[in-house]
Amino acid sequence: MSYFRVTLVRSAIGLPRRTTDVLKALGLKKRMVTVFHPVSPSVAGQIMKVKELVDVREVDRRLTKQEIHLERKPDPGYYIEQTAETEWGANRSY
């Protein structure tokens, strides 16, 4: 079974109530929140009503909250090969 992965990327502030109601029906309350819905014509129709506000991908399975968080976590930009303590202990001789 495949799923729609729907992420709200634009705010609904100032938009008609009809649009905000569609977002509520999809379960999107805040920006950058991701929800998963099974692929169906009714969900696809709701997504088409708010297509300018959301990012949609089709995925094979639902991701857990932890998996979504790790996906968004940036690369630290550096890697620790060895700590100073282990280097000091290796170079120390009596």
Q: Quick check: 94 pLDDT over 60?
A: no
- The model's pTM: 0.73
User: Tell me: the pLDDT tens digits for 7-30?
Assistant: 999 999 999 999 999 999 999 999
User: Tell me: the pLDDT tens digits for 47-92?
Assistant: 999 999 999 999 999 999 899 888 888 888 887 777 777 766 667 6
Strand-by-strand arrangement of the 3-8 sheet = 34-38, 3-8, 54-59
Evaluate whether 54 touches 9 at the Cβ level (below 8 Å): yes
| C-alpha atoms less than 13 angstroms from C-alpha of 92 in its C-beta half-sphere | 6
pLDDT at position 28, please? 95
Q: Within 1-94, where are the H helices?
A: 17-26, 41-49, 65-72, 84-91
d(CA 2, CA 36): 10
The architecture (CATH level 2) of 3-74 comes to 2-Layer Sandwich (3.30)
